[in-house]
Structure 1
């Protein structure tokens, strides 16, 4: 009797497994397709594509086409073929704002169009682009990080009283926010002079607060992983706000963060001194209203 019961249970188990396997259906990836743009390329003329943000990555589907960024800018890609009548192919571009672009390229002796402005196209057609995640931003999507920075500038709240002023230029660290292991520094530069202020660079360095003659000065440079604006000129009688994203860090009581704002070919440089307590006062971005 026990043998019969075991046999029946085995048969039922076999039927359930077969039924489950039959019910599993393959997933149709066509619903997840990234719709490609169509581009015509030729050998004797160069095609240019203007992207809304800086180009981070380019992958060509064939060695019959060549592509590179225009040296004077970071968001223009130029392309052409190495011979006539190439086999239809594709290429992929990823931009700094995390957008993923897919292109189908075909050869045409005389293309109808040689310049494409994707910024204009996306604004007119409200095209939603696929988005990738960058390792340096962790789990935060690039578009969300940009939204955070925009919200910080729009809120424009002075949480800290850290400033530097000379020669008619004032720099101020207004606030520090934190999100997903990143620190967002809100800097403001107010050019009250009649001369434009051309920015050379903004640096972040951790230094010892006090040193003796026998002590070696310890200095650690921190590189921002993203900023809201790349503008390098602040016109006379005007102000510019920017947000810099850095990997999260803390300071000891014997250390300080120096933010140096360097003027190109000038002496109106500014230095902001940030203490450990200022870093620990960082506000959580989730409390911002978007």
Structure 2
């Protein structure tokens, strides 16, 4: 019987082929991210305007310094700490998930000191690599942004919880769920003749008072992100916004309070969301017009 020796020979050949395949390395040249070229100097500041808020900056050398402009969230300023530094690089990640790579070179008199990547991307349709943020789960930032915009476009009044105060009406129109995240669609309608500036929007879970002796428990929920960072609603106009929160549940004895406060004003609003409102929310399938 020759079969055992034949089978052994086959196994040796298969193992040899697998070993050869495992030893082959993957060429990552096709996965290369093309960097931007930036010239820096010591006596002048370079500014870069990004389409999204800056979340992360990593510098390839301690010979350059970088920080966000205090009054903004999407402008980065850079300069060198000395003359004629060695070529280096730096990386920036913005809150819309875009990943930017830069090669930095020293030039005593840079040709350009200000870069507007918002304008550049619109003109050149450049596609940046996208990263995933832990707080958004498996949903990419760009898809999250599309979800929020689609909710506003759909404009369905599924909850329709309202508050009116001095000519300003606040409405919770709908709540959707996607990938373990709640999407709250809020709308503010300013029917007065004065502009309305939102100071903050807060979300709190509270126990519903049952007696005077009951201790009221309160839990603040921090939105993961919103479609708009700040809102100023002009007179006789309205604005919509979407806030994303981690999934939660409410007992019949609890209520979610959404507080909308006016900056330096008294036209404040409280929207009360009960457990039955949360239980009847829909999955975010809203793209079939």
Residue 199 of structure 2 is matched in structure 1 by 200
- Partner residue, 2:110: 111
> After the TM superposition, which residues 26-65 of structure 1 pair with which residues of structure 2 at under 5 Å, given as runs?
26-65=25-64
Match of 1:252 in 2: 251
Q: Please name the residue that 2:228 is paired with.
A: 229
**How big is the shift at 1:20?**
3.0
Structure 1 gaps, min length 5: none
1:23 Cα deviation from its structure 2 partner: 4.2
Aligned to 2:11: 13
User: Residue 183 of structure 2 aligns with which residue?
Assistant: 184
CA distance in 2, matches of 1:23, 1:239: 62
- Tell me how far apart the structure 1 counterparts of residues 175 and 10 of structure 2 sit (CA, whole Å): 64
Distance 1:221 1:202 in 2: 11
Q: Aligned partners of 1:8 and 1:152: how far apart in 2? A: 65
Root-mean-square deviation over aligned CA pairs = 1.3
CA distance in 1, matches of 2:17, 2:163: 74
1 CA distance for matches of 2:45 and 2:194? 40
Q: Summarize the alignment of residues 120-199 of structure 1 with structure 2, pairs less than 5 Å apart.
A: 120-199=119-198
Deviations 1:199-225 (A, max 9, x none): 110010111122322211111111100
Shift of 1:136: 0.4
* 1:91 counterpart residue number: 90
Contact 1:211–1:217 (CA under 8 A) maintained in structure 2: no
Q: How does 1:206-221 map to 2 (within 5 A)?
A: 206-221=205-220
The Cα offsets for residues 90-129 of structure 1, whole Å up to 9 and x where unpaired, read as: 1000000000000011111110000000000000000011
Distance of 2:285 and 2:159 partners within structure 1: 19
In the comparison of the two structures, how many residue pairs are matched?
288
8 Å Cα contact 1:184/1:245 also seen in 2: yes
Secondary structure in structure 1 of the residue aligned to 2:285 = helix
Instruction: Determine the structure 2 residue equivalent to 1:285.
Output: 284
Q: Distance in 1 between matches of 2:27 and 2:251?
A: 55
Runs of 4+ with >6 A deviation: none
Residue 233 of structure 1 deviates from its aligned partner by 1.2
1:171 Cα offset (Å): 0.2
Q: Give ranges in structure 2 of 5+ residues lacking alignment.
A: none
TM-score normalised by structure 1 residue count:
0.96
